[in-house]
Structure 1
Amino acid sequence: MLNIRKQLSRLYLSSVISNLTITGAWLAILASRGFSLVEIGISETVFHITSIIFELPSGVMADVFGRKKMLIVSNIMYTIATLIMIASNSLFTVCLSIAFHALTYNFSSGTGDALAYDSMKKARIHSKFERYESNQLIIYRVCTGISTLCAGFALTIGYKLAYATDLIACAAQFIVLSTLTEVNAKEKADEQRLFAKIAECFRESFIFLKEAKKALGLMFCNSFVGALDILLLFFLQAKLPEKGIPKWGLGVALLFMELGGVVGSKLILRLPKVGYKVIFAVTSALVLTGIFAEHSRSFVIMAIGGFIAAVGDDALQVRTNAKLQKMFPSEQRATLTSVESFTFSVIMIVLSPLAGFVFIYW
């Protein structure tokens, strides 16, 4: 029997374990090992290419085989990625590790939300999903901020020991995930019908998107605004030191900007009656404000701009995800959520070089 409180608590705990790591600043770790910016760029490209290839199949597998199983597969992929990174001694092995990190993201993105929504729906409390989504984003922002502050510690102890701590987290994560309760799991398919079920899930998902163009539009808009915010925070890591921020202040500034997401996630819950178009207009304006503030001569104003952009990004994320989950049929929930992640990856690949051009020449 489903215990909704325990189910949601375990999903929250799983998010804490997966996001709280001292190896979050992997770009800095690779740079400290002597890899050039070009090589680091190549590894990041490998991540996005892998994500694009496997995002939709992983969502389909979650709908066909069960969300709990795919979350466990995600944990296994992360364990493999960590072991390869510890043993890595070349760009090829680093890229191989990064590819498995991407698979970790693929098998978990949307799967946890799908399991949470269907669990809440079964318990007849799915109207509170927006609050759940808000809490998950708060966990992500806070843990990411703390991880950023720990970046210096990771560089001090060395990448092998730093990634060894991730193996401990993987073991703890496996225990937590194994206690989850599967919801709406399909009957086990025999080998002859397996591919037929996967193909059927694909077909029904795309039929839904074809008919529900509004859902596709929501995915694109949310992904575009989110990509702008992430790229802004990424480039601020490099631009803040150029504007004179003290070394000790960089981690504090990055944590401050992440906390903007916490404010946005909580603020949107106080505006349940405000229409989506108004929310989208206001949150987009907040992100654009952050982008303009990036070009200030003051690192204080730049950091405040990053905070404001994070407020807008997470507020829109909470409202959009809650709106989409209400529209998705349970049978294709993980697949359709993966479509949004796929859209985000495509937008990131397009915007990243353009953002780099603006960063250098504007």
Structure 2
Amino acid sequence: MSENVDISGNPTKYVWFTTLYNARAYYPILAVLFLDLGLTLDQYVLLNLVWALTIFFFEVPSGALADTLGRKTLLVAAAVLMILEMGCLLFAPKDGGWILIGLCIINRLLSGLSEAAASGADEALAYDSLPDGEKDDLWDEVLSKAMRYRAIAFVIAMIIGGLMYDSSILNRFLPENLQIPLTLAHRLPIALVLLQGIACLAITLSMVEPRRVHDVSFWKACKRAIKLTMKTAKWVFSNPKTRVFVIVGLAIDSVIRNFATITSSYYRLIELPEWSFGFIGAAVGLGGIIVPTIASWLNRRFSPLANFGIIASAGLIGLSGLVPANSYWCLIPSMMLMMTMSFLGFTMSRSLNREAESSKRATVLSVKGLAFNLGYGAFSLGFSGLLASLPEGTSGAALTKALFWQVPFYAILTFSLLLWGKWLLKRTTVET
């Protein structure tokens, strides 16, 4: 590939890709979508473990391949896999027994592969397309723009997804002979995300590699990828700053993200109507519009570890507020947790991109993704086991008790790691 290629459009295409890739219309009803297909809540949580394990095995190799074969190649693959994963859910039979479980497992595998392919490669391609000497300042602008676009898209996707899923709402606006059955309505958000996947494929195909990618065989690229993976992982966990950022970040993320995947079940627990799920997600999206501004200001004013402390504290308040699960007021801590995840994502991206060299940036970001998803998978396994072990089984009472027990676990884990991180960084500063 010629060195004199126009890469100036990549950051804008990254913004559109990450917006369409992440703002999915089935998110407000994600848990109940699988439950209404015929799965139990603990089965659904275990499916998320399958998703996390898939990323565990492919996250870092995919990032390393992005640094060897090319970031664009991995992004195109992520879009294709997104289309295939939506196809599995679109045609999964309701109460289909092992066929249903098999298709759901394939969906989680494809979703994990897609996430692994996109993670790191998208940000690395956009970051390296920025002019030298201006990357740090311009990246803050690109990242803020991407987060705002995603927030706006979430508002639209959440409202549409929630309304699509509730056939009683749709049928109010349709004539008698065009009434939509419930089973069809439950597939409409999936069909919309399938169209988003097709749009993502078109966007990634139009991207341009920001640097020359040498032609190598697949196996030679894999060998390079494994070597780069091991070298980069060693660097991430031997560098005191990146080690603290990743370990503290994954502790916070694992607990909050587990709740994010079961929010629709929680909304049913506090007896919210299904059509409202999308509006709640939209409200979270609107709140997310201001998160980049706040996160950027806090990150410029305080150290990364101080920001992690703020994030951990906000997470503890939010998780504690979920426990009563007895009124609509419980929506406030739920929404707070979703915005906390955005704050965490901004802080992690900003901190790691400043530490990583260009040649291994995608791999560093993938190491972070690997660690986060390993932590999330481990917590999902524990949470599923806790649900299954409770006398109430998979009822709402079991979910309430499980939410209660995760609060002290989260508090002890995160604040112990923050103290460790402060000690390690202080010791490192003294030694240097």
1:12 aligned to 2:15? yes
**What is the CA distance between 1:247 and its match in structure 2?**
4.7
Partner residue of 1:239 out of 235, 256, 266: 266
Partner residue of 1:46 out of 37, 47, 50: 50
Aligned to 1:199: 226
The answer on whether the counterparts of 1:43 and 1:95 sit within 8 Å (CA) in structure 2 is yes
Larger C-alpha radius of gyration, 1 or 2? Answer: 2
- Which is further off, 146-155 or 213-222? 146-155
State how 1:88-127 maps to structure 2 within 5 Å. Answer: 88-89=92-93, 90=99, 91-122=101-132, 124-127=134-137
Aligned to 2:290: 263
1:61 aligned to 2:89? no
- CA gap of 1:279–1:165, structure 2 versus 1, over 3 A, is closer
Equivalent AA in structure 1 for residue 373 of structure 2: S
- Aligned-partner SS, 2:44: helix
Report % sequence identity: 15
**What is the CA distance between 1:30 and its match in structure 2?**
2.7
Aligned to 2:307: 279
Equivalent AA in structure 2 for residue 57 of structure 1: P
Distance 2:200 2:18 in 1: 9
Equivalent AA in structure 2 for residue 115 of structure 1: L
Deviations 1:222-253 (A, max 9, x none): 22222333234444433344334455544333
- Which is further off, 61-70 or 13-22? 13-22
**What is the CA distance between 1:288 and its match in structure 2?**
0.9
Distance 2:194 2:269 in 1: 35
Equivalent AA in structure 2 for residue 76 of structure 1: V
State how 1:1-362 maps to structure 2 within 5 Å. Answer: 1=4, 6-24=9-27, 25-89=29-93, 90=99, 91-122=101-132, 124-149=134-159, 150-154=161-165, 156=167, 157-158=184-185, 162-190=189-217, 193-271=220-298, 272-296=300-324, 299-355=327-383, 357=386, 359-361=399-401, 362=404
Distance 2:277 2:363 in 1: 38
Aligned to 2:392: none
The answer on whether the counterparts of 1:131 and 1:269 sit within 8 Å (CA) in structure 2 is no
**What is the CA distance between 1:42 and its match in structure 2?**
4.1
- Which is further off, 336-345 or 136-145? 136-145
**What is the CA distance between 1:349 and its match in structure 2?**
1.9
- CA gap of 1:317–1:98, structure 2 versus 1, over 3 A, is closer
- Aligned-partner SS, 1:120: coil
The answer on whether the counterparts of 1:241 and 1:250 sit within 8 Å (CA) in structure 2 is no
The answer on whether the counterparts of 2:47 and 2:108 sit within 8 Å (CA) in structure 1 is yes
Distance 1:197 1:283 in 2: 37
- Aligned-partner SS, 1:189: coil
Distance 1:152 1:237 in 2: 14
The answer on whether the counterparts of 2:31 and 2:265 sit within 8 Å (CA) in structure 1 is no
Structure 1: runs of 5 or more not aligned: none
The answer on whether the counterparts of 1:257 and 1:306 sit within 8 Å (CA) in structure 2 is no
**What is the CA distance between 1:337 and its match in structure 2?**
0.7
The answer on whether the counterparts of 2:81 and 2:110 sit within 8 Å (CA) in structure 1 is yes
Structure 2: runs of 5 or more not aligned: 94-98, 168-183, 387-397, 405-432
- CA gap of 1:58–1:131, structure 2 versus 1, over 3 A, is same
**What is the CA distance between 1:181 and its match in structure 2?**
1.7
- Which is further off, 108-117 or 6-15? 6-15
TM-score, normalized by length of structure 1?
Answer: 0.88
**What is the CA distance between 1:3 and its match in structure 2?**
5.2
- CA gap of 1:295–1:41, structure 2 versus 1, over 3 A, is closer
- CA gap of 1:65–1:297, structure 2 versus 1, over 3 A, is closer
